[in-house]
Amino acid sequence: MVAPIVAFLPDNSAMHILIPYACPPGPRCREAMATLQLPHLARLLHVLTPTVTLRGSPEQLTPLHERLQAQSLGLQGADGLLPWAALDAQRLGLTALHGVEGWAWITPCHWTIQAHHVDMADPQHLALTHTEAEALWTAMQPYFAEDGVTLFAQPLEHIGTRWLAHGAVFKDLPTASLERVTNHPVDPWMPRQEQAQPLRRLQNEMQMLLYRHPVNDTRAKFKLPGINSFWVSGTGTLSASFPAALISHAHSTAYAIRDALRVPALQDDAAAWALAWQSLDSTTLTQSLDLTLCGDVQAVTLARKPLSLWERLRQRMAMPTPYTFLSTL
């Protein structure tokens, strides 16, 4: 999952499960949603009470599930300005020297030129090796430095996926999550602010620099996609009170992410998405648990709540089918 922070934990009833892409953005997956057989979700809709946790829209830079993750950690920021990169920098001890402003993630990626637009493939599928990532960083970082951006070598947990970057160009610059751009045209999500002009120039320079780079030449021999651009995300300023905020959130919702729907949803692969949903239904959803499901429009939490007899009867009479429920997300 190309999400900021993911908690993969064993299922048990004490956890709060978060399922992104429960209602998919693509037309083929949405058509398949009507055919889903989800008996355990139907049971949970019968015994748990739905509550809208967050509302959003497909046009927002930050998907709802990332906003929920940020809330659970005490991270604050406007749309496109959740400070995921600054959080990484703090954990690596870099904010003590460079401050909490002007951080970003730089993700190496593969862009494909179509007739009328440019698409970005899922960066997860690039599978860069340590050696490839180091060679690309060595070639790219002098160009970033010319624009006042420090491109840090990747820590081990991010080898082959992304670099941390620091520079004034990123301060208060809203950027789109990778989730928004993966397998989609990049143009609608490009930052257009005047301060982003150096980044657009850098992207053009990287396309020329990397066109015949030895890493890409070698990957081409093995029919692997080349690296021909980068994406900026994770911008935002970390609050000076963040450590205290984290302590205050120590007993708040800690999400266990179930992201099996992500890849087929982003690819609009209806068969794989439906299969992944049925697998979740027959495993994770067999338990009585607190559960939040996300689409682009709503995040809805199913949880046990004390209800009067009349409220229980009314809830059962108005109980939606899984299809009706998922269609609201």
Confidence band, pLDDT 50/70/90 cuts, at residue 49: confident
Q: What is the largest CA-CA distance in the chain?
A: 70
pLDDT of 115? 80
pLDDT, tens only, 267-321: 999 999 999 999 999 999 998 778 999 999 999 999 876 555 555 555 555 567 8
Residue 191 makes CB contacts below 8 A (sequence gap 6+) with 173, 174, 175, 176, 199, 232
Confidence band, pLDDT 50/70/90 cuts, at residue 27: very high
- Pairing mode, if any, of strands 16-19 and 290-294? parallel
Q: Cα separation of 23 and 33, whole Å?
A: 8
Interval 183-203 mean pLDDT: 94
Q: Cα separation of 138 and 136, whole Å?
A: 5
Q: Cα separation of 123 and 140, whole Å?
A: 17
Task: Give the residue with greater pLDDT, 307 vs 77.
Answer: 77
Reply yes or no on whether the pLDDT at 252 is more than 70: no
The domain spans of the chain are 16-66+260-327, 77-233
pLDDT of 248? 53
Confidence band, pLDDT 50/70/90 cuts, at residue 5: very low
Interval 252-273 mean pLDDT: 90
State the average pLDDT for the chain: 87
Q: Which of 138-142, 226-230, 243-247 has the lowest mean pLDDT?
A: 243-247
Sheet with 118-120, edge to edge strand ranges? 111-113, 118-120, 184-185
Displacement of CA 200 from its chain's centroid (Å): 22
For residue 107, give the H/E element and its range.
strand 103-109
How many other C-beta atoms can be found within 10 angstroms of the C-beta atom of residue 234? Answer: 29
